[in-house]
Amino acid sequence: MYPNRKNYGRPQGNFQRSEKPADNNQTIYGIHAVTEAINAGKELNKIIFQRGELGPLLQSLTKLARDLDIPTQYVPKESSLFPPNKNHQGVLAFISPVTYHKLENIIPQLFEEGKVPFVLVLDRITDVRNFGAIARSAYCAGVHTIIIPDQGSVQVSEDAIKTSAGALHHLPVCREKNMKTVMELLNQSGLVTVACSEKGKGMIHQLDLTGPVAIVLGNEETGISEDILKRCSELARIPLDVGVQSLNVSVAAGIIAYEVVRQRITNM
């Protein structure tokens, strides 16, 4: 279903996913259950805390989450996320069905393996179906990794995996705390960082995308944030007919990914 092109081989070794996925986005409740899941090496999409006074155990858990860069969220005590029939102790967590990776590990390995890095940076994509569709197109096009922020963004869930037709079980996803640092790392590593936006004056096909490249796509409503935009080395857009202002982000991702494929095949 997904062609293996020699130019687009994904990093091997530690970046290959296990054949057995983690628990299916399972929700767990309670301080001890969440702490034990972390200590057992489970990957968490998010920990949610009820607002209120923090006892010693809750303080310990919040510090653990902070130290491990696990996304957290605080909600009112009245939140419907906490059913009255659960002994939740003001804490719940979602176990991720995949293991996240770190970009600082993947980029050097790609170069060591002689690969030409091809990555997607998704700036605050929030729709799970868009995310899954982007991942499916990205995997087919030979993208090496997708980068998402740990806050204000969709995470890898079972719905996303289903929409991706399973691609998210094979395509490494980097969940990063500081997207400014991510952009600096990509630029310093020699990747051309291309912001894809209707604000671009030049067209995407006019850029040379045959070398190491990072394609940046923005939020469905507000596009790419200014902090990310100003750290991109190029700004380009997809040619659109008169009267059409923009494309769905997952459609745009597929078009741009295959522009990279087209140029690299032509250049072989």
The string of pLDDT tens digits covering residues 197-209 is: 887 888 999 999 9
pLDDT in tens, 159-216: 999 999 999 999 999 999 999 999 999 999 999 999 998 878 889 999 999 999 999 9
What are the sequence ranges of the domains in the chain? 6-18+99-266, 27-95
Instruction: Give the residue from 104, 80, 86, 107 showing the smallest Cα distance to 34.
Output: 86
* pLDDT interval class at 243 (50, 70, 90): low
Q: Are strands 44-50 and 91-95 parallel, antiparallel or unpaired?
A: antiparallel
| Tokens standing for residue 134 | 């982007």
**Helices 31-39 and 56-67, axial angle in degrees (round to 10):** 30
Q: What fold characterizes domain 27-95?
A: 60s Ribosomal Protein L30; Chain: A; (3.30.1330)
Res 137 pLDDT > 80: yes
- 3 state DSSP class of 28: strand
d(CA 23, CA 41): 12
Average pLDDT value for the chain: 88
In which band, very low, low, confident or very high, does the pLDDT at 244 lie, cut at 50, 70 and 90?
A: low
Token code pair at residue 191: 């990747």
Tell me which of 207 and 245 has the higher pLDDT.
207
* Band of residue 126 on the pLDDT scale cut at 50, 70, 90: very high
**Binning pLDDT at 50, 70 and 90, where does residue 3 land?**
very low
pLDDT tens-digit series, residues 5-64? 334 455 444 443 333 333 345 899 999 999 999 999 899 999 999 998 678 888 999 999
Q: One-letter amino acid identity for 130?
A: N
Residues above pLDDT 90, as percent of the chain: 71
Alpha-carbon dihedral 143, 145, 150, 151, rounded to 10 degrees: -10
According to the model, what pLDDT value does residue 36 have? 93
User: In the structure encoding, which two tokens stand for residue 180, read together?
Assistant: 């400014």
Neighbours of 108 (CB within 10 A): 13
Tell me how far apart the alpha carbons of residues 42 and 34 are, in angstroms, rounded to a whole number: 9
Length of the chain: 268
Specify the CATH number for 6-18+99-266; select among 3.30.980.10, 3.40.50.150, 3.90.1170.40, 3.40.1280.10. 3.40.1280.10
Q: How far apart are CA 216 and CA 196, in angstroms?
A: 6
Q: How many CB atoms lie within 10 A of CB 265?
A: 12
Nearest-angstrom CA–CA distance, 236 and 203? 5
Share of the chain above pLDDT 70, in %: 89
Confidence of residue 77 (pLDDT cuts 50, 70, 90): confident
Query: Is 75 in a helix, a strand, or coil?
Result: strand
The average pLDDT across 100-112 equals: 95
CA separation for the pair 115, 9 (Å, rounded): 7
